[in-house]
Amino acid sequence: MTLEITGKADMKYTNQRVEIIAFLREHRGHPTVDEVYEGVREKLTRISKATVYKNLKFLSERGLLEEVNVKGVTRFEANFVPHHHLICRDCGKIEDFESEELFDYSMKIAGGIEGFSIDSVNTNFYGKCKKCKEDNING
């Protein structure tokens, strides 16, 4: 598989970093460090969890991944299409929510902050997912 990495970052693209980014792009969602580790380990059998964690942090700091924190758990994603998150307070499920109108409105508001240059905006909506709402009704 060829992986095109659009460079925001001036860095060395090690095999571990390329595989981590590839895993996150192939498996849409918001995996934890453990989930990324298990997925990457299928291809790089000798990789350690510490190496995965260090590389996830490194790639996040370089702007190649986004961190999403829910209920004290850090999750990672490689989706850079402007979007927001729907987060279930019961089960912790995270769904991406794309709304061009909301993004444009958020950027307009943020653009009015004097002395600060905004390059992105994200909003988290908290509530209950469909499954948890149904479980509460039926339970």
Task: Read off the pLDDT of residues 61-72 as tens digits, 9 standing for 90 and up.
Answer: 888 888 888 888
Residues 6+ apart with CB under 8 A from 53: 33, 37
pTM above 0.95, yes or no: no
3 state DSSP class of 102: helix
| Residues of the domain holding 91 | 84-138
Same domain, residue pair 69 and 90: no
Note the pLDDT tens digit of each residue in 38-90. Answer: 999 999 999 999 999 999 999 998 888 888 888 888 999 888 788 889 999 99
- Select from 42, 62, 77 the last residue of a domain: 77
5 or 119, which is more confident? 119
Buried b (16+ CB within 10 A) or exposed e, 7-35: eeeeeeeeebbebbbbbbeeeeebbebeb
Note the pLDDT tens digit of each residue in 104-116. Answer: 887 788 777 788 7
Same domain, residue pair 110 and 63: no
Note the pLDDT tens digit of each residue in 12-36. Answer: 888 999 999 999 988 878 999 999 9
